[in-house]
Structure 1
Amino acid sequence: MSEVERDVVSIRLPLWGRVVRAEGVVPWLVVGDDGVPVEPVRRYLMDFVARDNRSGSVRSYAFALLRWWRWLRAVEIDWNRATPAEARDLVLWMRLTEKSGRSARTASAVTAGTVNPITRKQYLDDQYKPSTVRHSNAVLRSFYEFWIELGDGPLINPVQLDRRGRPHAHHNPMEPFRSDGRIRYNPKVPKRTPRGMPDERWNELFAGLQSNRDRALLALGISTGARAAELLGVRGVDLDWGDQLVRVFRKGSGAEQWLPASPEAFVWIRLYLADLAAPLGPDEPVWWTLRRRDRGDGFRRRPLNYEALRAVFRRANGLLGTNWSMHDLRHTAALRMSRDEALSLKDVQTILGHAHLSTTADVYLVEDEAQVFRRVQRHFTERAEHKECAQTAPAAQPVTAGYDASDLAVLFGPAVR
């Protein structure tokens, strides 16, 4: 590794380039200030799409590569001459600095990084999370692996692995060589216990919603445990009214799955569709904006996207003083099912769409905090009552003459003093 030492804290990334939606094979591209796509990134993302990765993953990788290109401009290094020193310093920079945006925080500046007293969840701050750093490392390693294979990248991958033992010591000659070891500068991600929404908080949130569409969408989320992106992709043909099932396409794998929903969710869906005052086609999205907007093609409703769904929660959270999110509904549904004796862990895994049973067990087989608190409070109360009884107990009577006190203690136990 080149011995390069930088004052990483003083480095400020330039607001160069942006990620834009594109037409054609690659749905998202990184472009410079001149609007021209960054060719090495475009070619890599084209290969990434060819490996059957979804549009959301392409967008996520594009943003990670945009950050890397800004970093290279800040340290004045060409992309194909990057060394492990640049990858190391980027990790240090992400751990020590704050995110820079095109616009400053407004209302959220007061709560950023604090813990909500009602939900006990931390508000997002401007620090890069360990999971973001790990994602950045994974993207960059994959990007340089692609170019090194083509022979147009640097001699070694800037994102190095920490190997344990002798590499490929027990390699099967009939199988291809695979990289082993963890990425060297990956930070540890603390394990977080999923926090379910208490029933009274769910009732408060539901009462704070302003439309039948919002009530239908959240009722569907808390009964199916589906992710936000999966629910937003539901079309008219994906609703089975007879059996009260909804079909989703799983995030990542894209696998089709039918999920049972509560009768209340379908009641709210029916009320919402009646509010639309227009028949819903089988291939049309179920969720639409409530207002019609003109974007050059007349006043029309638009399919509901993730940003509009976040606005629904912002309005409700502003009313309640909370910071709930759509993913809290997934955690709540999973915890409710995992604590139901009528459902097996395999049932919960199937509904949540986890590939491995161990994922469901590790995340959701946790003790209910509220029950733990009640048991500990009961323990404190019982100790206090026992201490009070001991203090008010009558003094032990003297042993009648003719009896040995030690023999009586063996028979009846020691006297309480």
Structure 2
Amino acid sequence: MARAQRVSFDDRPDTFLVVGADELPIPAAREYLRFLCANDASPHTVRSYAQGLAQWWTVLEATGDHWDDFPTSLFGMFLIYLRTGDLPGTNRIGQPERRMAESSIQPRAAAVLSMYRYHADAHLLNVPYQRLFTSHGRRYGSRYRGFLDGVGPTRQSDRPIYRSRAATAAHTPILLPTQVNTILDSCSVQGDDGWSGSAAGLRDRLFFAVLAETGMRMGEALSLRHSDVHIGGGATPFVEIAGRDDHPHGARAKSGARRIYIGDDLAALYSEYVWQLVAQGADVAVNDLATHFVFVNLARGTRYGPIRPETVYEKVRSIKRQQPGLVPAGWTPHWLRHTHATALLLAGVREHVVMRRLGHADVQTTLSIYGWVTEDAEMRTLAQWRNFVAGWKGLHDGQP
């Protein structure tokens, strides 16, 4: 069975390979993943595509077909495998359980289609391309666009023969203010004797609080340095977002530079976290704490090394186990970004201010994602949204 294999480096972000049943890298997949990296694809995209290609090669191994010569029907079998986990030739009585949602199938199918599009344009490998794409039946329009459009032969009229469909678009998922507080309190709680739990618990609370109060993407938060956080001195505290892609575990701040003003409570929480780091000797162990990552390992892994995105997701799973029924079963860290934007709009903040705070390129992006909020009057009765954002600063035109 093929699998995606992480490859770690000391001087650059992690990347991924696809290895076959013989534990050797698969050259065709390796070349395409290198192409993605060279075109500045995000580490998350590279990982997702590597997983999709590994599943494709698993199907190829099961059928004995070659990667560059296979029947058109094999891609349909691949989609069935993604949905059900049944490899070609599996005999089953009754209907199989659905293993993967369409929203998860799409990027894996896109990985395979994009790889063959690349090899067709880069190496004129047209046989497998013709098994997957057709120029006939164009009434649906040209929905698929490869990475090499405009470089290789013109193929804009071709579309995949098998088309996976996304689920019906719905409102962006959000957390209610009470659910956000449940998440934060699951990490650490302030009492008469200080904050409960370990420094790692305080770090986790700070991380989720940063996402909830600033609307940052997870990669932006993981990429923060202490020098990016400006508190004290009598001025309004703020966080400087710098466009970075040097996180050793692939986190990226892809929205570019911007300034986000924060409330006093978040500034105080950050100060307490820094004091605990110093009390543990982080300022001695790290060459320059001011330019070091904010969110670092405190319990496992290289001490004071930047935490992995997987560490965050592990904490999310832990909170779901601790608080069944109190937080949505499917919530992810990105829901806090959606919640932040929703809270601002329901509190009456102008759309262009929300746009700048989120780092969107234009206000139309903000409206296309969150336009439903201002139209749904019932949302205003779900919680005290104005009270929820009362301590946040920089919500006027002059301070995004």
Compute the TM-score of the two structures, normalised by the length of structure 1.
0.68
Specify the alignment match of 1:145 in structure 2: 117
Q: How do residues 257-272 of structure 1 correspond to structure 2 at under 5 angstroms?
A: 257-263=257-263, 264-272=265-273
Distance 1:369 1:320, change over 3 A: farther
- State the distance in 1 between where 2:338 and 2:186 align: 20
CA contact (8 A) 2:48 2:107 kept: no
Considering Cα pairs closer than 8 Å and 6+ residues apart, tell me whether 1 or 2 has the greater RCO: 2
CA shift at 1:275, angstroms?
0.7
Specify the alignment match of 2:356 in structure 1: 350
Specify the alignment match of 2:226 in structure 1: 236
Distance 1:156 1:309, change over 3 A: closer
Distance 1:85 1:35, change over 3 A: same
Identity score, percent: 22
- State the distance in 2 between where 1:238 and 1:360 align: 25
Q: How do residues 10-409 of structure 1 correspond to structure 2 at under 5 angstroms?
A: 15-23=1-9, 27-95=15-83, 97-98=84-85, 127-149=99-121, 150-152=123-125, 154=127, 156-160=129-133, 164=138, 177=154, 179-180=156-157, 183-184=160-161, 185-210=163-188, 211-241=201-231, 243-249=237-243, 254-263=254-263, 264-277=265-278, 278-279=282-283, 281-291=289-299, 300-321=303-324, 322=327, 323=329, 324-341=331-348, 343-367=349-373, 372=378
Which segment is superposed worse, 56-65 or 179-188?
179-188
- State the distance in 2 between where 1:255 and 1:367 align: 23
Which segment is superposed worse, 271-280 or 242-251?
242-251
Amino acid at match of 1:276: L
Amino acid at match of 2:138: R
- SS where residue 46 of structure 2 aligns? helix
Amino acid at match of 1:317: K
CA contact (8 A) 2:346 2:373 kept: no
CA contact (8 A) 2:344 2:354 kept: yes
Distance 1:301 1:282, change over 3 A: closer
- State the distance in 2 between where 1:191 and 1:29 align: 32
Distance 1:64 1:157, change over 3 A: farther
- SS where residue 109 of structure 2 aligns? helix
CA contact (8 A) 2:258 2:359 kept: no
- State the distance in 2 between where 1:354 and 1:269 align: 26
CA shift at 1:134, angstroms?
1.8
Q: 1:46-69, CA deviations, whole angstroms, 9 ceiling, x for partnerless residues? A: 222222223222222111111111
Distance 1:27 1:368, change over 3 A: same
- SS where residue 17 of structure 2 aligns? strand
- SS where residue 129 of structure 2 aligns? coil
- State the distance in 2 between where 1:360 and 1:57 align: 23
- State the distance in 2 between where 1:190 and 1:43 align: 34
Amino acid at match of 1:39: P
Distance 1:154 1:348, change over 3 A: same
CA contact (8 A) 1:83 1:158 kept: yes
CA contact (8 A) 2:223 2:293 kept: yes
CA shift at 1:334, angstroms?
0.9
- State the distance in 1 between where 2:86 and 2:252 align: 27
- SS where residue 245 of structure 1 aligns? strand
- State the distance in 1 between where 2:252 and 2:305 align: 25
CA shift at 1:41, angstroms?
1.1
- State the distance in 2 between where 1:347 and 1:64 align: 38
- SS where residue 110 of structure 2 aligns? helix
Distance 1:357 1:303, change over 3 A: same
- State the distance in 2 between where 1:53 and 1:201 align: 33
Q: 1:258-310, CA deviations, whole angstroms, 9 ceiling, x for partnerless residues? A: 241422222111111111123362332110122255x7xxxx34322222212
- State the distance in 1 between where 2:253 and 2:298 align: 31
CA shift at 1:70, angstroms?
0.5
Which segment is superposed worse, 350-359 or 82-91?
350-359
Distance 1:58 1:316, change over 3 A: closer
- SS where residue 56 of structure 1 aligns? helix
- State the distance in 2 between where 1:370 and 1:206 align: 27
CA contact (8 A) 2:60 2:66 kept: yes
Q: 1:388-411, CA deviations, whole angstroms, 9 ceiling, x for partnerless residues? A: xxxxxxxxxxxxxxxxxxxxxxxx
- State the distance in 2 between where 1:138 and 1:292 align: 35
Distance 1:218 1:369, change over 3 A: farther
Q: 1:1-36, CA deviations, whole angstroms, 9 ceiling, x for partnerless residues? A: xxxxxxxxxxxxxx3344231558982111234432
Which segment is superposed worse, 198-207 or 177-186?
177-186
- State the distance in 2 between where 1:333 and 1:209 align: 19
CA contact (8 A) 1:83 1:156 kept: no
Unaligned segments of structure 2, at least 5 residues: 88-96, 143-149, 189-200, 245-250, 382-400
Which segment is superposed worse, 135-144 or 278-287?
278-287
CA contact (8 A) 2:4 2:50 kept: no
CA shift at 1:236, angstroms?
2.2
- SS where residue 80 of structure 1 aligns? coil
